C-alpha cells in the first residue's frame, strides 16, 4: 500500500492507463513542483508538494489525461512560488501552462471585500473553464483534497470554506455529472458546517444499518432471481443515501429520520439501454409501482447528461423501494460525468471525435455561463446569478418543433424565450402553452409545448425581473436595461446641453472636436458620451457645463456662433410617453396629456415631469438650472395615471357600482381605497389609467351622473 505522503499512489493509478513515457513526464513534473515548493508546508505541517500530488491522484482515479495530472501537480506553482507561467510553458508546454493559469487565484489583486475577491476568482475560473474544461476538474479535485484535510483549520474558517463548497463547488460537480466527487464534497461540507448534526445522523444510520441489511439482502436476491428468470444480465446493488442527502430530505420535507429510512434504495446495472427497459417491466411485474413516480431519464437525459430509469415500488414487508436502472456506460457517466466521455481521454492519434451528449450539455452550460458573465454588472452579480443557475430543480418543456428545453422549476415563458435565444427573449410579447394564450408570468410545467409570440419593435420590460427564474434571463434583461438607459441618457443630455448653450448665444452644432476634447480633459472624463450621459441622468447640471464651455474653454468674450436659432434641438422637448427609463411622471401630481407641464432634472432618475400648478413645482422653479422646457407631442402614446376623489353616500354596493361604471369606459383601475367622512358620506379614491384629459373628462362626466356620487374632482 502506498503511504499518504508518497508518489507511489499516483504512479500506480496513472500506470494503469498511461504509457511509460507519459508516466515519466508526470515524475518530471513532480520533481519540478517539489523543487518549486521547497521549504513550504501546509497547516498540517507536511511538505506542501503532497497536496498537489494528492489532487493529481484524485484525477488519476477517474483516468484523466497526462496533461491534467501534470497541471494538477503544478497548479499552485505560479501562485505560491517564484516560477512564472513562461517557465511552465518552456518545461511542459503551453496547454499545461494555460490550465495552471486558469486554476491560479487572483491573489495579487486587492479587493474591497472577501466576497468580491471570491466572486472575481470564480469569474476568472469560469472564463478559463470555457477555454479548457480541465480547469474545473482540477479545481474540484483541489477542493476535495482541501475538504479532506480541513480539520487543521480554525472552526470559523472551516465553516466559511464548507459553505463555499456547498454553495458553489458541489453544485458545479453535480452540473457536470461528477456525482462521486459531488457526494463526497457534500458530506464533507455538511460535516464541517454542522458537526453535531452530522455526528447524530451518522450514529443513527450506523445503528439502523444492522436491522436493514437483512431486508436489503433479501430484496436484492429476489430481484436478481427475477432477472435471471428473464435472461437479463444485470447487477443489483442495495445502496444507502449519503448523509447530506438524508439531511436535506429531512429538512426540506420536514420528515423524521425513521420515515426517511423506511425507503430502501436499489440500483440495477445492465448491459444495454434495451435491457434497462426489459428490467423495468420485470420488476414492475414483481412489485407494484407507485403511481406518478416513474421518470425516464434515458429518453430525456438530465441537463448534466445523466441517464437512468427511476421508479418507486410497493416492496415486501410494507416498505417502499426506490430503484434506478441504467447500463454500464450510463453508470460510468453518472459517477464521473464529463470526465467519463470527454475529448482528452481519446487516443492522441485519433482524428475523429464525436462529442457525447455529456460533452455537449457541459459545453452548453459553460456557454450559458459566459453569456451571463458578459452581461453581469460586476463579479458579485455574476456569482449571485450563477448560484441561481446551480440549483435547478428542473422541468422539461418542448418547442413547437419538438426540441427539449431544460429549465429550473418555477421558470416562466420569458425564461424559456431567453433559453432558446437572447434575441427571442428581447422581442417576446406573449406566449401560448399547448396553443392557449397565457400571461408571461405563468409558471411552466413539464411536458408542455411552449410557443413564444414576438414583436418586431418590442423590448424587455423591467417588470419581468419580478418573476423570471433563470440567471440568463435575469442578466440579459438587466444588461439590456443598462444599455438602453445609457442611450436614453445621452440623447437627453444632448438636448439639455443644447438648450443651456442657447442662453449663451451658442449652438451645440458649433462644438468642434477640439472643444469637446478640451472640456472632457478639464472634467477628467473618458469620453464626450460620458459627459452627455452624466447630464441626462442628472449627475451634472447642463447650465454649469454650458457656462464652463463659455468661460473656461472659449474665454468669456468668445462665442460659438448660433447658426441655427430655431433648430429642432432648441425647441421644447416633446413628451410622447414612450421615452423609456429616464422619463418619470411625478407621483405628486400625475400629469396627463393636455396638462401644462414642466420638466425637472433629478439625479439618477433623469427627467421628471410635473404639472405646472403642482405645489412641488414652486420650489423647483427657483432652481432654473434643473428645469427644462417641455410640452406634449402631437399624439402621445400609452396611458397615464390620474387620481380621482369621490364623495359618495353610504350605501351597500357603492364601490362596486362606481368600479363597474369606470370599466364601461374601457378604463383600467390601478388601485382604490375608501374612508368614512361621517355617518352619511364616504370618500373614495380611484387611481385610473387614462389616455389624456379628454378621456379623463369622459370618465368624470359618467360618474357624476350616478345618484350616489355627490362630488368628484381630480387630485
Grid cell 411485474 is found at 285
- The 3-class SS string of 305-328 reads CCCCEEEEEECHHHCEEEEEEEEH
How far are the Cα atoms of 106, 348, 367, 712 from residue 383, in angstroms, in the given order?
Answer: 16, 36, 15, 53
CB-count exposure of residue 351 (10 Å: 0-12, 13-18, 19+): exposed
Give, to the nearest 10 degrees, the angle between helix 654-663 and helix 693-704.
Answer: 140
Give the span between the Cα atoms of 79 and 105, in whole angstroms. 7
Catalytic member of 61, 79, 167, 625: 79
Contact 149, 122 (CB under 8 A): no
Q: Is-catalytic flag, 116?
A: no
Question: Which of the 8 DSSP states describes residue 406?
Answer: E
How far does CA 321 lie from the centroid of its chain? Answer: 36
Contact 637, 577 (CB under 8 A): yes
CB-count exposure of residue 257 (10 Å: 0-12, 13-18, 19+): middle
Give the span between the Cα atoms of 553 and 560, in whole angstroms. 11
DSSP string across 647-701: EEE--TTHHHHHHHHHHTTT-EEEEEEEEESSSSEEEEEEEEEESSHHHHHHHHH
Grid cell 396627463 is found at 592
User: Would you state the cell numbers that stand for residue 57, as one nine-digit string?
Assistant: 491522484
Catalytic member of 12, 47, 61, 80: 80
Give the span between the Cα atoms of 307 and 94, in whole angstroms. 36
Report the 10 Å Cβ neighbour count for 373. Answer: 19
For 263, the 3-state DSSP assignment is strand
Give the span between the Cα atoms of 701 and 693, in whole angstroms. 12
For 5, the 3-state DSSP assignment is coil
Cross-strand partners of 675: 683
Q: Is-catalytic flag, 79?
A: yes
CA angle 630, 636, 638 (to 5 degrees): 125
Q: Write out the catalytic residue numbers.
A: 79-80
Amino acid at each position: 500500500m502506498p503511504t499518504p505522503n508518497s508518489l507511489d499512489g499516483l504512479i500506480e493509478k496513472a500506470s494503469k492507463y498511461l504509457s511509460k513515457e507519459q508516466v515519466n513526464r508526470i515524475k518530471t513534473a513532480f520533481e519540478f513542483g517539489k523543487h518549486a515548493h521547497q521549504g513550504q508546508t501546509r497547516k498540517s505541517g507536511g511538505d506542501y508538494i503532497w497536496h498537489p500530488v494528492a489532487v493529481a491522484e484524485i484525477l488519476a482515479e477517474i483516468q484523466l489525461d497526462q496533461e491534467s495530472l501534470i497541471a494538477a501537480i503544478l497548479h499552485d506553482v505560479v501562485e505560491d512560488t517564484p516560477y512564472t507561467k513562461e517557465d511552465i510553458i518552456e518545461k511542459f508546454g503551453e496547454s499545461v501552462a494555460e490550465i495552471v493559469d486558469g486554476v491560479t487565484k487572483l491573489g495579487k489583486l486587492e479587493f474591497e471585500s472577501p466576497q468580491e475577491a471570491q466572486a472575481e476568482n470564480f469569474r476568472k475560473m469560469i472564463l478559463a473553464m470555457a477555454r479548457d474544461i480541465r480547469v474545473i476538474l482540477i479545481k474540484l479535485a483541489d477542493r476535495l483534497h482541501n475538504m479532506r484535510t480541513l480539520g487543521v483549520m480554525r472552526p470559523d474558517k472551516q465553516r466559511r470554506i464548507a459553505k463555499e463548497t456547498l454553495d458553489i463547488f458541489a453544485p458545479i460537480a453535480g452540473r457536470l455529472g461528477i456525482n462521486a466527487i459531488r457526494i463526497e464534497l457534500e458530506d464533507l461540507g455538511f460535516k464541517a458546517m454542522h458537526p453535531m448534526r452530522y455526528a447524530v445522523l451518522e450514529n443513527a444510520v450506523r445503528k439502523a444499518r444492522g436491522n436493514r441489511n437483512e431486508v436489503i439482502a433479501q430484496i436484492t436476491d429476489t430481484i436478481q432471481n427475477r432477472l435471471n428468470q428473464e435472461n437479463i444480465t444485470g447487477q443489483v446493488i442495495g445502496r444507502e443515501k449519503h448523509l447530506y442527502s438524508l439531511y436535506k430530505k429531512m429538512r426540506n420535507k420536514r420528515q423524521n429520520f425513521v420515515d426517511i429510512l423506511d425507503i430502501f434504495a436499489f440500483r440495477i446495472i445492465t448491459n444495454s439501454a434495451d435491457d434497462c427497459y426489459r428490467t423495468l417491466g420485470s420488476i414492475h411485474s414483481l412489485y407494484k409501482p407507485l403511481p406518478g413516480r416513474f421518470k425516464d431519464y434515458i429518453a430525456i437525459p438530465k441537463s448534466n447528461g445523466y441517464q437512468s430509469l427511476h421508479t418507486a415500488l410497493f416492496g415486501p414487508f410494507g416498505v417502499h423501494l426506490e430503484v434506478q436502472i441504467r447500463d454500464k456506460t450510463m453508470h460510468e457517466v453518472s459517477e464521473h460525468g464529463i470526465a467519463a466521455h470527454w475529448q482528452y481521454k481519446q487516443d492522441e492519434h485519433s482524428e475523429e471525435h464525436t462529442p457525447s451528449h455529456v460533452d455537449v450539455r457541459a459545453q452548453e452550460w459553460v456557454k450559458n455561463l459566459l453569456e451571463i458573465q458578459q452581461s453581469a454588472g460586476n463579479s458579485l452579480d455574476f456569482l449571485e446569478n450563477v448560484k441561481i443557475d446551480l440549483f435547478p430543480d428542473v422541468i422539461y418543456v418542448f418547442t413547437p418543433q419538438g426540441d427539449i428545453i431544460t429549465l429550473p422549476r418555477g421558470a416562466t415563458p420569458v425564461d424559456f424565450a431567453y433559453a432558446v435565444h437572447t434575441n427571442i427573449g428581447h422581442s417576446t410579447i406573449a406566449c401560448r402553452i399547448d396553443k392557449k394564450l397565457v400571461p408571461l408570468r405563468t409558471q411552466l410545467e413539464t411536458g408542455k409545448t411552449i410557443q413564444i409570440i414576438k414583436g418586431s419593435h418590442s423590448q424587455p420590460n423591467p417588470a419581468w425581473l419580478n418573476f423570471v427564474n433563470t440567471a440568463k434571463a435575469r442578466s440579459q434583461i438587466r444588461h439590456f436595461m443598462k444599455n438602453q438607459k445609457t442611450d436614453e441618457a445621452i440623447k437627453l443630455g444632448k438636448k439639455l446641453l443644447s438648450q443651456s448653450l442657447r442662453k449663451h448665444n451658442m449652438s451645440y452644432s458649433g462644438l468642434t472636436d477640439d472643444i469637446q476634447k478640451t472640456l472632457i480633459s478639464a472634467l477628467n472624463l473618458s469620453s464626450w458620451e460620458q459627459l452627455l450621459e452624466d447630464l441626462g441622468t442628472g449627475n451634472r447640471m447642463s447650465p454649469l457645463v454650458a457656462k464652463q464651455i463659455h468661460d473656461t474653454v472659449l474665454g468669456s468674450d468668445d462665442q460659438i456662433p448660433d447658426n441655427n436659432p430655431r433648430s429642432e434641438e432648441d425647441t421644447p422637448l416633446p413628451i410622447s410617453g414612450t421615452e423609456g427609463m429616464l422619463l418619470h411622471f411625478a407621483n405628486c401630481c400625475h400629469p396627463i396629456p393636455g396638462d401644462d407641464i414642466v420638466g425637472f432634472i433629478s439625479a439618477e432618475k433623469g427627467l421628471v415631469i410635473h404639472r405646472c400648478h403642482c405645489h412641488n413645482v414652486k420650489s423647483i422653479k427657483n432652481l432654473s438650472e434643473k428645469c427644462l422646457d417641455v410640452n406634449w407631442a402631437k399624439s402621445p402614446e400609452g396611458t397615464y395615471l390620474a387620481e380621482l376623489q369621490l364623495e359618495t353616500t353610504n350605501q351597500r354596493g357603492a364601490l362596486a357600482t362606481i368600479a363597474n361604471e369606470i370599466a364601461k369606459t374601457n378604463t383600467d383601475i390601478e388601485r382604490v381605497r375608501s374612508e368614512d367622512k361621517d355617518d352619511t358620506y364616504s370618500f373614495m379614491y380611484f387611481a385610473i389609467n387614462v389616455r389624456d384629459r379628454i378621456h379623463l373628462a369622459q370618465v368624470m362626466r359618467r360618474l357624476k351622473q350616478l345618484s350616489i356620487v355627490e362630488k368628484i374632482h381630480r387630485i
